[in-house]
Chain A
């Protein structure tokens, strides 16, 4: 499918500091796209480039198969990391104001907003002032204000920060729902668990470079590198001799409670795993045989440290 957003060789230098260096990425339409990276890696700059808030020194941004213009930003919903709401304004009025700013008619906006407020359980806050809300409440308001006009592309900067686990889940559900209704979602986050749960694809930026891009599944499988964990009982020597030539051992074996032993093995990338399983099955009492898929957390740390 054609990408909704394509970033081509974008670079941006602030005085004496390169925020983005030749970054490219493609965001597939209808996907949830994670933008990862350590603090100060350049994620927010990249988001600002997409939002037309920062003009890149070189490189291009394509939106819907044309070079992005300032008019396209109305089709993008953006929730900045540092939440911005008018403190003295009433919540409902404010949400209506933002919705109208993005082209909704007043009554349509009120209608839709009330549904959203209801769904996220903040309808009774409609007439309260923003300064009276808790941080999480304000986040919800901001989230609604970002999505209510149903833009094609949604960009959330750290959407989960400041939420308790219950509300994080609520938000995840809503983000998945938005995607199912056709929106494309980009979000930047440090929360790797949420990446595993909801992201289809990711880009990892480190030190202003794109160091890793692709679908989450593929990246994790690749990072696992055909490594398997076997838990068995029986003679360790027989285990070793049975995998000999078909796989290599990784590290030492580990004794587990109940007389079981755990051992990691690596199988050559293009080879079949069935002979390994067959040989093991004959020689030891195999309890489990499982591919090791590293967590995004591991991948993140290894990628940033250059050990992936």
Chain B
């Protein structure tokens, strides 16, 4: 035990002291935030220059073209009645003069597809959206006018209902207020997806580190020195636990950063009233989903509970996978040789990812349920299910199965490891590995 501790200490301190660890630990949350913020920033900042579009309107009296309003995105210039497309194209033929020519068909009122935009430049989503929306609005008004009814706008607005479901979770308590917690399918799914992917990332990245670490030691022959100072099992467990600690530290730092950000920085930036206002605005817009997401991410207790479950699955899932990786690392001499075995390990992980995507449709379907119990897929799938509100017994059973499997897998891996570390040369076959497990 003492030796495992020493090996854990070495693995941990060596890794944590590396610059790459410090950088990834601090930059990953920043990177993730950037990833979320960047698209909206780009939407806001992008397409800054106003596009000039000339309009050939073939409708009687140019009643469409005359109603197009120029704005920040597009500036319209209506050509005199009778201008043909050919004339317009030859006159406005370069991006410097005009972004494009919009041709409105004479029968547009009855045939709303009769609309062409001939571009001199690369197409732009915002320009197309702007034109489509404006013309849609004009056509709608025109068509409504045909019915010659008073107040038709108001009637239509009144009939246009948006339903928002406020999903609540019955948690069994009697009290009306406390007995139900707000949930949201979309919010849960996004949450689950993030958690599932995080787990996937950790299993793969840190599992590979175990594999790499064993292969490195085998190549540099440090392994020869190590196994004459400790039992192979100590070495394997030391490595796995050391790297697990590094992973745990990283998660905890991320958790603190994210919880800290949601507990202090977000209220600071938006102000308490800001968050309430955001939620109120979302709710009034009928968007209970967004309100629920905002609500969840600012609920420190909820986040902390989630991180605890995440940590348990990460530790269990990681130990389960890492022992497989360690066994493979011990059995081969080079990363190339490891690739084939690696592929086999990856398969259940990929299955888990696919199943995870199905969690939203029905977080309680039998496929999803069983995949969240089988240790090969349970960490990822269960983590994706948890935000939907899963009975505690299911989480408990799944964790127990996972931890028992981890012990079994470690036992098998240790038996392979204890032979593998001394083997050099030929890449072993599956049969060899089986024989090593049985070897006395």
Interface residues, chain A, CB within 8 Å of chain B?
15, 48, 51-54, 70, 73-74, 76, 78-80, 82-89, 97-98, 100-102, 142, 145
Contact in complex: B224, A53 (CB < 8 Å): yes
User: Within the assembled complex, what's the spacing in Å between the Cα atoms of A48 and B228?
Assistant: 10
- Look across to chain A and name the residue whose beta carbon is closest to the beta carbon of B3: A101
Q: Which residues of A contact B231 (CB under 8 A)?
A: 70
Q: Which residues of A contact B10 (CB under 8 A)?
A: 89, 97
Q: Which residues of B contact A142 (CB under 8 A)?
A: 225
| B225 contact from A15, A54, A78, Cβ within 8 A | A78
Interface status of B201 (Cβ within 8 A of chain A): no
Contact A54:B422 (CB < 8 A) given known A74-B229, A97-B10, A98-B229:
yes
Q: Which residues of A contact B227 (CB under 8 A)?
A: 53
Q: How large is the interface on B (under 10, 10 to 19, 20 to 34, 35 or more residues)?
A: 20 to 34
Contact in complex: A84, B221 (CB < 8 Å): yes
- Knowing that A80-B225, A101-B3, A142-B225 touch, tell me 15 more A-B residue pairs with CB under 8 angstroms: A48-B422, A51-B228, A74-B229, A76-B228, A80-B224, A82-B224, A84-B220, A84-B225, A86-B14, A86-B220, A87-B220, A98-B225, A101-B6, A102-B229, A145-B225
User: Within the assembled complex, what's the spacing in Å between the Cα atoms of A261 and B223?
Assistant: 59
Interface status of B230 (Cβ within 8 A of chain A): yes
Contact in complex: A78, B6 (CB < 8 Å): no
- Look across to chain A and name the residue whose beta carbon is closest to the beta carbon of B419: A55
| A78 contact from B217, B220, B228, B426, Cβ within 8 A | B228
Contact in complex: B6, A100 (CB < 8 Å): yes
Which 9 A-B residue pairs are closest in the complex by CB-CB distance?
A84-B221, A84-B222, A101-B229, A80-B224, A82-B221, A78-B228, A84-B225, A53-B422, A102-B229
Q: Which residues of A contact B390 (CB under 8 A)?
A: none
Q: Which residues of A contact B217 (CB under 8 A)?
A: 84
- Cβ contacts B211-237/A at 8 Å (1 or 0 each): 000000100111111111111000000
- Look across to chain A and name the residue whose beta carbon is closest to the beta carbon of B18: A88
Number of cross-chain contacts by CB at 8 Å: 56
User: Within the assembled complex, what's the spacing in Å between the Cα atoms of A70 and B231?
Assistant: 8
- Cβ contacts B422-437/A at 8 Å (1 or 0 each): 1000100000000000
- Cβ contacts B134-145/A at 8 Å (1 or 0 each): 000000000000
- Look across to chain A and name the residue whose beta carbon is closest to the beta carbon of B5: A100
- Candidate in B6, B225, B226 with the most chain A CB atoms within 10 angstroms: B225
User: Within the assembled complex, what's the spacing in Å between the Cα atoms of A97 and B6?
Assistant: 8
B15 to chain A, nearest CB (A): 10
User: Within the assembled complex, what's the spacing in Å between the Cα atoms of A51 and B228?
Assistant: 7
A63 to chain B, nearest CB (A): 13
Q: Which residues of B contact A54 (CB under 8 A)?
A: 422
Q: Which residues of B contact A85 (CB under 8 A)?
A: 220, 222, 225
B367 to chain A, nearest CB (A): 44
Contact A84:B422 (CB < 8 A) given known A100-B6, A101-B229:
no
User: Within the assembled complex, what's the spacing in Å between the Cα atoms of A119 and B372?
Assistant: 61
B323 to chain A, nearest CB (A): 21
| B224 contact from A84, A88, A98, Cβ within 8 A | A84
Contact in complex: A89, B14 (CB < 8 Å): yes
- Look across to chain A and name the residue whose beta carbon is closest to the beta carbon of B228: A78
B371 to chain A, nearest CB (A): 39
- Look across to chain B and name the residue whose beta carbon is closest to the beta carbon of A15: B426
- Look across to chain B and name the residue whose beta carbon is closest to the beta carbon of A94: B10
- Candidate in B7, B221, B223, B426 with the most chain A CB atoms within 10 angstroms: B221
Contact in complex: A73, B224 (CB < 8 Å): no
- Look across to chain A and name the residue whose beta carbon is closest to the beta carbon of B231: A70
- Candidate in A52, A86, A101 with the most chain B CB atoms within 10 angstroms: A101
User: Within the assembled complex, what's the spacing in Å between the Cα atoms of A87 and B217?
Assistant: 10
User: Within the assembled complex, what's the spacing in Å between the Cα atoms of A82 and B221?
Assistant: 6
